[in-house]
Structure 1
Amino acid sequence: MDSLAEKRIVLGVCGGIAAYKAAALTSKLTQAGAQVHVILTENAMNFVQPVTFQALSHQPVYTDTFSEPDPHVISHIDLADKADLVLIAPATANVIGKIANGIADDMLTTTLLATKAPVMIAPAMNVNMYEHPAVAANMEKLASFGYRFVEPGVGLLACGWVGKGRLAEPEEIVEAVQSWFRQQAARDTQAAAKQDLLDKHVLVTAGPTREKIDPVRYITNHASGKMGYAIAEAARDRGARVTLISGPTALPRPEGVAFVAVESVQEMFDAVMEHLPQSDIVVKSAAVSDYRPKTVQAHKMKKGDGPFVLELDKAPDILKTIGERKTKQFVVGFAAETQDVLLHAQSKLERKNLDMIVANNVLLEGAGMGSDTNIVTLLTRDGEQLALEKLSKRAVADKLFDAVLLKLQQKPLSELS
């Protein structure tokens, strides 16, 4: 087990039957070396008493905003300031809704509103509650704030339903916590070692776009945004000033980058054109709609008896417009293809006046949308090609910037180590 020594973790426990697992979680985090400070909601105490967590954590347990055992500090502010991580496990639909909407009416929610530490949420609830649009919207909103989630498990729930909503096992949550700290340490090490984009402004697009059909329907694609977010984080860690323009995703907002949330292709087009003049490197990894409904209905369309024909218009071509308007910018595009990958990528590079394109076959295992890895080939304007083996998307992002810097120095990709 990775050590969590010297890590101060604030563990919020909400009122659900899964609260009993939080006792085991407290024990495992403490055994890994963490200093665990538990906050129980009023409802959580109906399932597990504070003395249990006090015995397991060897720390005071917090239950009331107005209970101030140390007169020298305000407890929820002190916890918020000193936390290395705030972990909510189990997180109920109620508390998720509160924090998504800025409600602070107890010890846990006031601490969450006050902290600048990273927040990790492990939801636990009935499957129908978990899948309710309001809960999904609240979790998406929290993800846009940069909150991270530990996915619930699928199985028999305490209520008798079978489905997704069971709190992840304590071992899984501990691994998620350790993984986050490992990644943070790696980012810190990498940032200290390589600052070769220090004087660059990097503009990145990521995720899908959504084109409305009516108030409840839209056209979109399977893009997860993982590649674009990895690119933004890699540029940030190498010293760049980064602007990330993102369509709707479930990913936490990267820290230390200027973030612009958009939905439609027109919104992404407008945001890109606004930031393009100040950019030195543009990486357009977003999967943008090529077409959009000619007419957006003001009200929900009703199902008819016969077939339905949706008339589409061509959407603005963001990458082509960048190629037309670029002055000093080094522009990188992406070509996600299913056949004749390199042929189509080369054509796109030339038609859209790009400096480099990243081609991948999304049908390959480990290279599709939503995966954590990618298998790509880099093609440059001067005719070079470099095929990369299957790598994590973060590793692909770093290789991409290595290649961009070589081309900016007018060096061949063969020098890429």
Structure 2
Amino acid sequence: MSSDPWGRVDETGTVYVRTADGEQVVGSWQAGSPEEALAYFERKYEGLVVEIGLLEKRVKTTDLSSKDAQTAIGHLREQVDAHHAVGDLDALRARLDKLVELVEARREERKAQRAKQSDEARHAKEALVAEAEELAQSDQWRAAGERLRSLVDTWKGLPRLDRKSDDELWHRFSHARSAFSKRRKQHFAQLDAQREEARQAKERLVAEAESLSNSTDWGLTAARYRELMTEWKAAGRAQREHEDDLWNRFRGAQDVFFAARSSVFAERDAEQTENLKLKEELAEEAEKLLPIADLKAARAAFRGINERWEAIGHVPRDARPKVEGRMHTVERALQEAEEAEWRRTNPEARARAAGLTGQLQAAVDKLKGQIEQARAQGNTARAEKLERELEGRQALLDQALKGLQEFGG
């Protein structure tokens, strides 16, 4: 005989499960030991636990319908009530009872949600109808027409109401759109005279555009075409049967001019691209002069490079700063070398540097003598003060000596 807290196996191999209503027969086991029997039916219990857990998760996290959920709960309850497992079956029944309550609550929640959505859809469609009826009186033909089309798209995206309510609201909505369309047609019927005036104005614009199409005065003509386009837009639309033909002639004349201009500009761009390549080669040749060892030779070489540079011509505007910057770098290096050479060979500057060095050397020697005297007299404080002063003078002397070396002395 074997047992655990929720079940046991008697001497005959009968397996029992303990419930709140007392022991219930689970089944009979003859194939192995009592422990194996309990383990088998405990595994069946664990299987029920897993299935109930999965159903709980589906109910809480998915859109499982109430009907499908109830069916699944009933199936699991039948298995629990069959007592073919060893474990806390009462706890499983309690979980299934709670799941039934949850499913019912979700069903009511969804019902309320559907009612809310229907109410919201009603209010939304009533608002669309009210706006459409207001727009029906508008004289802003384009804006109001676009807004009415937008309202139709919004209407199509809303849920349907009950048939009577939906039909009544749609009738009002459609009537408002029809009223607007009728007023707009009447308005545009009055524009025929204006369209004839626009046709005559555009005929004059086309004639001028065609007369300019062979011009080679690129800047002024392009500016005039922009003005003609502004006048074209301000003239309004001609009758439909004339508008497209006038536009094709007007645009065609511009296309002839701009195509010719583009061809000329393309040739210019190709030439400037080739110029850029040549200037980059010259910049590379100039950069090879660095670092400058022979100033006179470098200056002469750079002069020759610069003369060839000036003879080349324009390069693309966006590439100009970079390639010119490379030449300027070499030119600055030459200027700095020339200034250094001048400083090195300038007798006045050399004399001033030598004089300053001599003065500083004398001051350093004097301080050293004063320091020795102070230490001989046992005046340590004065000696330390003079030593600090000596450090500063020595630094100035070192700097002056370095500058003097630059003059070759």
Q: Same fold (TM over 0.5)?
A: no
- The structure where helix makes up a greater share of residues is 2
TM-score (norm 2): 0.15
